[in-house]
Chain A
Amino acid sequence: MKSKMSNFLNKIIILTILIIPNIVNADFFEDITDKIVDNPKRLSYGISVADINQNGKYEFIVTGFGYPNLALSYDNGILINIANQNIFSDESRKTIGVAACDVDRDGYEEIYFLNTDTYSGIKKYSDRLIDLEGNKFLDMFEIEKNKEDLNLTAGRSVACVDRKGNGEYGFYVSNYGGPTRFYEIEDKKIKDKSVSLNLDKVTGGRAVVSGHILTDRSDIFAANERGPNFLLKNDNGIFEDVAFDYRVDDVIQNGRGTALSDILYRGRLDIISGNWQGYHRAYVLKDNQFKDIGNSKFDKPSRIRTIISADFDNDGYDEVFMNNIAEPNKLFRIKENGAFEEIILETGLEPVGFGTGAAVADIDDDGILELLISRGESKEQPLTLYKAKVDKQSKYLRIKPINKFGAPARGATVTLITNQRKHSKTIDAGSGYLCQMEPVAHYGIRKNEKNFKVEVKWTDGTKNLIKIISLNQTVTVKQK
């Protein structure tokens, strides 16, 4: 009897050991790709999230490389392309990078499409800067007075930078094999200001983010290939590269995707930088230097492209999604003290997916982020769409800062302050690889969390503190 009992318990032990990892790693994502209407195989690259038709809802803007640029809008449970004007869809050009922000201070976010028809150096077709007049899209670069400074260098990513903190955005264009460009409107003309701003360096530009990294103004981190990264400190609107001093130059790694993330939940933005087949970095600022605190699972070299930091499952802890090309994707949860815990993916793994870009947005307005992945490069593939399987009891809070011109305050920092954390998020100005996320700070709520306040730090460094009375809502905060 005793021996039977012992056998039985031994079996239970073995079974438990086998089962525990599967319980811990229950499938994280749900595949909702079927919500995309008309989703053919194509070569897609960067994705941005912006309101292209001023209807108050965000669209996923998906670039096409010899395929049309799309604007996927959510309506009646489906995602459908609403971009049908040639200047926007622009099938003849090869678009890879995209970012949107309000360059002309009219409250509408102009869309920068970075076209690239060559790997490096001089290219044939310039970029487009799409504005909306009435119901018609137009390319601001096609207006005669704006043709002086066209970008005719191959490039990759674009990010919006409010360098003066006055809501007058410019575009940092991360070029490859030619000088970096910085486009801004000056005297009613689009001008490349890169030389006067100390930004005109030649490198293998890959990824770029902008936000409150070092100062109370918009700083820039640019992850580069075949050369050091740039950490561009904003000094009254002019930039100084301090990457070496802050130890993020990472000179013999090849940067690819980057994001800002509050890795230690301490109320400041640090840097995540994915290196192509190199060590992925989780840079945390300490004593005026960034220290890489990624563990061996996190930093393991991979064929990385986009990298996203967001709370997909509304548990109050951010995840880091690593989109790899022709290699399985990875997902990590950032626990307290910067501990990266790998979440084993089944859905969303895409081992043979040629991931080129990805972005998050709560596109269906249900309080849970959707993850759209674009694919392509060496093989035409359809888009994929995922959503985390979220505990039905979970709660969320979304903060949408709008600047004084009525535009999303990209580059502003939102900090959620509760009894458990001080958690900063950037209003995405451009991140990942070639991409840009929705301009909303999305927070899942932790268990037993209370006393909710939100601080918005605007691009000029001024702050607003807001008391949150109820959860499960999107709070729009307007700059005065």
Chain B
Amino acid sequence: MKKILSKFILIFFVIFQFESLAEEKNYYKELIADWSRIFPDQNRNAAGPKFFKYIIDKEITYKDFTEFNKLYCAVSGSLIDPNSEPDFIYAKESNTGEKICGDYYKCCIPCSCDIMKYSEVEKMKHKFLDGLEEFYVFTIRNPCNKEDFPDRVNKNYFCDGEKINNNQVYSLNGRVVIGLLHEGRSCKKEEIDFVKSHQVTGRFCELRNNTPLENLKSGMGDIFIKLAR
């Protein structure tokens, strides 16, 4: 009898506890609330680096960091709906030339092609609230000395004259960090084959990446390409 009553109390307690513990951090809501802080002039074209800088400057855990970095497109600067699925891609590591595989959260499929072709990855270390972590980030060359810096991108977001503006974006080894490669690691052969044979990262990207810039009609990638090439 006692046992049953204990069970009853336990079930009762658990049900009501679940209710109160259900509240989880809403990363997307936080990004939306802070959007005008990240983009004071409301121009977010190719502004993945602004998102990255905003996130890395927060006092957060590594889990928070990875979750925030799933919610914007490193290429276009668009927000990405929560629960979106990433593309499995690879990109060249700057130092070694090695292919690094991982997940890339994109706003639309052309961005997966653009990031593979025009960005490189670098290994980065950072101390979060719960400890030091090492991960791969997407980077592009310093665009600040480009004569054809794209009009539709706010140059002040990236540059202080010809230098990278480290108050606005995060730089690593002289390159601008534009986003996080999730679950980044050295590619295995079968992973490279998977990317190359995938209908997006393989066939579609081959077509897109061989199309002259002036003929590109999809995605925000043309702005990014002008910035990153």
User: Nearest-CB distance from B44 to chain A (Å)?
Assistant: 9
| B4 x A296 contact (CB < 8 A) | no
Which residues of B from 42 to 58 have beta carbons under 8 Å from A?
A: 42
**Inter-chain contact B7/A279, CB cutoff 8 Å:** no
Cβ-defined contact, B32 with A296, below 8 A: no
| Interface-lining segment among A28-36, A91-99, A243-251 | A243-251
Chain B, residue nearest A10 (CB): B4
A9/B33 in contact, CB under 8 A: no
Task: Assess whether B207 is interfacial by the CB under 8 Å rule.
Answer: no
A17→B36 contact, CB < 8 A = no
B5, B23, B36: the one within 8 Å of A296 (CB): B23
Q: Are A9 and B11 in contact, with the CB atoms below 8 A?
A: no
Q: Complex formed: what's the CA distance from A253 to B5 in Å?
A: 49
**A253 to B12 CA separation, bound complex (whole angstroms):** 39
For residues 1 through 15 of chain A, which have their beta carbon under 8 Å from a beta carbon of chain B?
A: 5-6, 9-10, 13
Give Cα distance in the complex from A6 to B4, angstroms.
Answer: 7
Among candidates A16, A250, A296, residue contacting B33 with C-beta atoms closer than 8 Å: A250
- Beyond A5-B1, A279-B29, is A249–B8 a contact (Cβ under 8 Å)? no
Interface of B is mostly: helix
Find out whether the CB atom of A292 lies under 8 angstroms from the CB atom of B1: no
List chain A residues, Cβ under 8 A from B4: 6, 9-10, 13
B99 to chain A, nearest CB (A): 36
Chain B residues lying within 8 Å of A82, measured Cβ to Cβ, are none
Q: What's the minimum C-beta distance from B16 to chain A, rounded to whole angstroms?
A: 9
Q: Is B17 an interface residue (CB 8 A)?
A: no
- Write out the residue numbers on chain B whose beta carbons fall within 8 Å of the beta carbon of A299: 26, 29
Q: Bound state CA distance, A88 and B2, in angstroms?
A: 72
B42 near A251: Cβ-Cβ < 8 Å: yes
Q: List B contacts of A244 (CB < 8 A).
A: 36
Asked if B132 is an interface residue, CB under 8 A from chain A, the answer is: no
Binary CB contact string for chain A from 219 to 244 against chain B (1 if under 8 A, 0 otherwise): 00000000010000000000000001
Pair A279/B11 contact, Cβ less than 8 Å? no
Decide if A252 is an interface residue (CB 8 Å cutoff).
yes
- Shortest distance in angstroms between B8's beta carbon and chain A's nearest beta carbon? 5
B35 in contact (CB, < 8 A): yes
Report the minimal beta-carbon distance from B14 to chain A, rounded to whole angstroms: 11
Minimal Cβ-Cβ distance residue in A for B30? A292
Q: Is the CB of B35 within 8 A of A252?
A: yes
List B contacts of A295 (CB < 8 A). 23
Please, which residues of chain A bring their CB within 8 A of the CB of B42?
251
With contacts A249-B36, A251-B36 known, is A13 near B29, CB below 8 A? no
* Extra contacts besides A251-B35, A279-B33 (7): CB < 8 Å: A9-B5, A16-B8, A252-B32, A279-B29, A292-B33, A296-B23, A299-B26
* A/B interface sample: 18 pairs, CB < 8 A: A5-B1, A10-B4, A13-B11, A16-B8, A16-B12, A17-B15, A247-B33, A251-B36, A252-B35, A252-B79, A253-B32, A279-B26, A279-B29, A292-B33, A295-B23, A296-B22, A296-B24, A299-B26
